[in-house]
Structure 1
């Protein structure tokens, strides 16, 4: 049967212990049957994960693009896991992919990135009869996601792009980016992907704004630091607003009481990663002096998420998911880990816990961002679906 006449095939998920001595061989064997055009790999940072990256390049065909990043936890075939390498193989019968490494994030060489991104479609040879999308995997510690997504949006305005920031558990020390067996940091991996499957974006955030306002009266934008809220030391004022002792502020408490920024008609989280020794707040997204924030309140974690997935036009073959680590912490505190894992399993969601999510030209936090792959709609030759 000719390749263009073969039936569409969905992605394949593989999960192994990251420290298994034969982890790369297990993953390669698990995806080999789908003849992958692209393999995405997510796992805990360290020598074992680096060995997997090198081992996969040696075991998979040269025409297979290999990309991925370190995580703050993984989402595998059975839901939330830790200490595992989760791989997703995208079969060549339904997918094509090309990777670009955007380097030197601290220096922000935006003009160079723009030129590289604009050359990509011609080199890739996008087929207008198929659906194209982008995946962005930035270093979550470099703090440059806002500039990255704006650059990609300007260079490739017609391409839907989503992704997640590479993580390091709750250590916030070092992340790893993977592109074709090479491991790097202070960079972002950008993938242009094409498929004949139908696509739908799924986004979900489990919070709403309260009436409690806080004005950023002093900040260090380039470091994503709030020094003062309401003209008071930021950590102390946040503790007062939430009713939590400053000494008891932890990532779990930050997840329960997010700071929200209104953009257009929607509120987006400006997530807190920690406090500074000087009493400031470190954020995972851009912030500036004069910004007006609202204290958020967490709402339903489970049912709204399931309802968002239920609104997909057809059951997904798989959903590639980027889920903020702060959502995971909130779910764990609420004792809902098994319930959320059941949803992940039911809808075949695979991906990782992130230091931030990217979609619709924005960098956000405390959000689930996913891309559902579905069989083509017989009534729609293009096979595309609206976002859920």
Structure 2
């Protein structure tokens, strides 16, 4: 079921999740409108992705009061992906039906300082208590405070603790303010925290993860860093922002999120390159990153491929029987959105998202199977359950 408030988009709606959207600018009005599109009695839980223009505290209270006790999880965002594609001011609710989903939530707090041993033990206990159902598939979702600077250690810890259960997720945002972000659990907002959801479903699913960058020949070495703050002071023995600006051919005073989005740093892990995005250059020429950084780290300057073609190819997935996904839960980096807007491709990208039934939010970082990445689209494609013959 798909509900778009006053302007319904008549596309083929997903069958195994209900989508409801409100563009009201007051929290309670937005929640009331969005909840009218959902049968809460039929729902196992809701995901709420909240735009920066709405008070998350007010949204959380309104959902708790109006949701008839249904569990609600989610986070603040840097934009949502609705049935219309990219939006900046829309409240998005996704209702997962009881018939096809089970869920168990766990709040992880504090993130900073992060105790890997305690978190691993708590997660293993949480997974043990969430008893398996024969014939069902299991996955995990993680929503983390995007300003905690702990997602790298967190997701590695979760992967070790959960073993074969794949983990997908995104870091909460606040548009591009980079001040304070929150996760939401049952009427309460939390900073310096992460929310882990274990899901069990009879739907088939497939994880997605792709970016649109290729490595260049230009390599750099981090020669002075503050790893705990994700700050780089020097690259190649030169003040970091000055060296980066020289390499990308931009005056240092003109460095901006748009420049960073189009000229990312890549880190090689085995045969793969992952983006280590820059989000700010300080007056002292320090660069602030959205992913783990350390002294001696070798970085490679990235070069963009055609973003439309990589997006279309990445979302064109099928299950073993050749069927398209019923829907895709998507976590898309806000720096990708910035680049897309800069290139005036928003309408084309939104059409692709809408056609592939992608719903989710713009993030400050993405988590994909044990790795925290940037400037990447991460998602979970859900497919209709395989029909089993009854003997």
Range of TM-score over shorter length:
over 0.9
Alignment: residue pair count? 373
Query: Map of 1:1-388 to 2, 5 A cutoff?
Result: 9-17=15-23, 19-20=25-26, 21-32=28-39, 35-45=42-52, 48-62=55-69, 64-313=70-319, 314-378=323-387
User: Contact 1:40–1:67 at 8 Å: present in 2 too?
Assistant: yes
Q: Which ranges of structure 2 fall in alignment gaps of 5 or more residues?
A: 1-13
Partner of 1:385: none
Task: Give 1:233 deviation, angstroms.
Answer: 0.2
User: Contact 1:206–1:300 at 8 Å: present in 2 too?
Assistant: yes
1:34–1:82 Cα change, 3 Å: farther
Task: Give 1:49 deviation, angstroms.
Answer: 2.8
Q: Which ranges of structure 1 fall in alignment gaps of 5 or more residues?
A: 1-7, 382-388
Q: Secondary structure of 2:36's match?
A: helix
Task: Give 1:30 deviation, angstroms.
Answer: 1.4
Q: Secondary structure of 2:380's match?
A: strand
1:128–1:228 Cα change, 3 Å: farther
Task: Give 1:46 deviation, angstroms.
Answer: 6.2
Task: Give 1:177 deviation, angstroms.
Answer: 1.0
Q: Secondary structure of 2:164's match?
A: coil
Q: Secondary structure of 1:191's match?
A: strand
1:342–1:380 Cα change, 3 Å: farther
CA distance in 1, matches of 2:38, 2:166: 26
TM-score, with normalisation over the residues of structure 1? 0.93
Task: Give 1:19 deviation, angstroms.
Answer: 2.2
CA distance in 2, matches of 1:251, 1:372: 30
Q: Secondary structure of 2:288's match?
A: strand
1:45–1:177 Cα change, 3 Å: farther
CA distance in 2, matches of 1:271, 1:315: 32
CA distance in 2, matches of 1:170, 1:34: 36
Task: Give 1:290 deviation, angstroms.
Answer: 0.5
Task: Give 1:147 deviation, angstroms.
Answer: 1.0
TM-score, with normalisation over the residues of structure 2? 0.92
